[in-house]
Amino acid sequence: MKNFVQAGDTIVVPAPAAVASGAGVLVGNIFGVALFAADNGADVLIKTRGVFELPKAGSQAWTVGARVYWDNGNNRCTTVATGNYPIGTATVAVGNGAGETTGTVRLDGIATEAAV
């Protein structure tokens, strides 16, 4: 097939800011996890599908299957929809303690838009 470009679960995008390897990256309506560190504006390879441990709001408990959103202002995941970008679902339950700031998320790999 001459028009095939790539599978699409890993793509190159311009880094919207300096990003660390493993950080969440939102470019327009595309969300993924950086596979390596990149400076602002540099090309960065992101994974748009898969299961990742990502930073989360410590004040929230997650249940398995809960909808997860990206809070781009705070660079972390949340279960609050309003103003945030749907990115996937929680695959592991996690508590709401102040120190529970990592959640496991299965990324949808679909275009996202801030919820209203």
The residue among 63, 21, 26, 51 whose CA lies nearest residue 38 is 21
| pLDDT over threshold 80, residue 88 | yes
Mean of per-residue pLDDT scores for the chain: 94
Strand order through the sheet with 30-34 = 10-14, 43-47, 30-34, 24-27
Q: Where are the beta strands (DSSP E) in 16-112?
A: 24-27, 30-34, 43-47, 50-55, 67-71, 76-78, 85-90, 102-107
Tell me the C-alpha distance between 82 and 42, whole Å. 30
Q: How confident is the model at residue 60 (pLDDT cuts 50, 70, 90)?
A: very high
Chain segment 21-35, per-residue pLDDT in tens = 999 999 999 999 999
| pLDDT over threshold 90, residue 116 | no
CA angle 109, 42, 49 (to 5 degrees): 15
The residue among 53, 56, 31 whose CA lies nearest residue 44 is 31
Residue type, 74: N
Q: Residue 112 has what pLDDT?
A: 81
